[in-house]
Amino acid sequence: MRKYTWRTGILEVGTILVAVLFLIPIYILVNLSFKAPGDQSSTFAFPEQPTFQNYIDAWGQGGLGNALINSAIVTGGIVLFTVIFAAAAAYPLSRLGARWSKFTYLVFLAGLLLPAQLALLPLYQTIRDLGLLGTLAGVIIVGVGASMPFSIFLYAGFMRALPAEYEEAAALDGAHAFRTFWSVVFPLVRPITGTIIILTAVANWNDFLTPLLYLSGSDQKTITVAIYGFVGQYGAQWNLIFAGIIISILPILIAYFFLQKYIVQGFAGGLKG
């Protein structure tokens, strides 16, 4: 049944055609980014004189280098604290059968139902009143808090499936709870930690609304906010804009092509819970 027949051949050609249609927008994105400003040829035609100038200009005028660093700090900070805090919280919540721990777990899960839009305005106010507007710390705090429900849910599900014998052995050996968690439990949950790192990193690198609210107008911008401002400033210069867009998506695309096996597993696995 699983042989390569002429039917499979037709299927292959059809699927490749679909993929080509999918790639056309990406082709145009790359193609236009190499065209000189005066090049009036069709969107599909190769550049008359391919140029890197758009990339140089976009990099220089858009402050993209700084923005990439800010995005890396924000994403890295959110991922780091999300993993540590979510794993720590999920551990007792998944191990204790007490009423308070079940209740606390449900409080975390309730967060999965709340759209960010509901918290948007009051949170903006609080961040402003605390003097955190325009700081990366503000975005990190908000990002970590918002990541808790999904990450704790994934960790708790994974930890429940772990046998408790290792921890009990560690406890008998005299390890206190923190030591048991850090040396025994945390290494054992490594697969789900990988999934959470990938999901949290992609979501926060690509996030636009949160940094737009908390960082726009300041000189601390993430890459999404920088690109948004850049397009506003250079409205019709698409060659320049597309070069800027490619610079902004290149880090994550490169990461994707190297890690695509794990990323796809992470997405599928994370969603299967």
Partner 1 sequence: MAIATAVRLNEAPKKRRRYRGFASSVWWFVLPALALYVFAVVYPSIRGSLFAFTDWDGVSPNPSWVGLDQFARILTDPNAVVAVRNTLLIAFAVTIIQNAIGLLIALAVNSQIKSRNVLRVIIFAPVVITSIAVGFLWQNLYSPGGGINQLLEAIGLGALQQNWLGDPDLAIWSIIFVVFWQFVGYSMVIFLAGLQGIPEEVLEAAAIDGAGPVRRFWSVVRPLLAPAITINVMLSLIGGLKLFDQVFVMTAGGPGGATNTISTLIYSNAFSLGRFGYASALAVVLSIFVAVASIIQYRLLALQER
Site for partner 1 in 25-84 (CB under 8 A): 25-26, 28-29, 32, 42-44, 81
Shortest distance, CB of residue 111 to partner 1, whole angstroms?
A: 5
| Binding of partner 1 by 139 (CB under 8 A) | no
What is the DSSP track for 121-167?
A: HHHHHHHHHTT-TT-HHHHHHHHHHHHHHHHHHHHHHHHHTS-SHHH
| Binding of partner 1 by 272 (CB under 8 A) | yes
Of 2 and 190, which CB lies nearer to partner 1 in the complex structure? Answer: 2
| Binding of partner 1 by 146 (CB under 8 A) | yes
Among 70, 200, 204, 224, binds partner 1 (CB under 8 A): 224
Residues 6+ apart with CB under 8 A from 231: 241, 244
Q: How far apart are CA 43 and CA 22, in angstroms?
A: 16
Residues 71/223, Cβ–Cβ less than 8 Å: yes
| Binding of partner 1 by 183 (CB under 8 A) | no
Among 206, 234, 237, 262, binds partner 1 (CB under 8 A): 206
Residues 171/69, Cβ–Cβ less than 8 Å: no
Q: How far apart are CA 170 and CA 176, in angstroms?
A: 8
Among 107, 183, 187, 258, binds partner 1 (CB under 8 A): 107
Residues 151-180 that bind partner 1 (CB under 8 A): 152-153, 156-157, 160, 164, 167-168, 171, 176-178, 180
Shortest distance, CB of residue 53 to partner 1, whole angstroms?
A: 19
Among 36, 56, 121, 169, binds partner 1 (CB under 8 A): 121
Quick one: CA torsion of 52, 55, 58, 59, rounded to 10 degrees? -120
Locus of tokens 């697969």: 191
| Site size for partner 1 (CB under 8 A) | 107
| Binding of partner 1 by 262 (CB under 8 A) | no
- Which stretch in 46-54, 55-63, 187-195, 239-247 sits in contact with partner 1 by CB under 8 A? 239-247
What is the DSSP track for 78-133?
A: HHHHHHHHHHHHHHHHHH---HHHHHHHHHHHHGGGS-HHHHHHHHHHHHHHTT-T
| Binding of partner 1 by 136 (CB under 8 A) | no
Among 75, 195, 200, 248, binds partner 1 (CB under 8 A): 248
Residues 190/109, Cβ–Cβ less than 8 Å: no
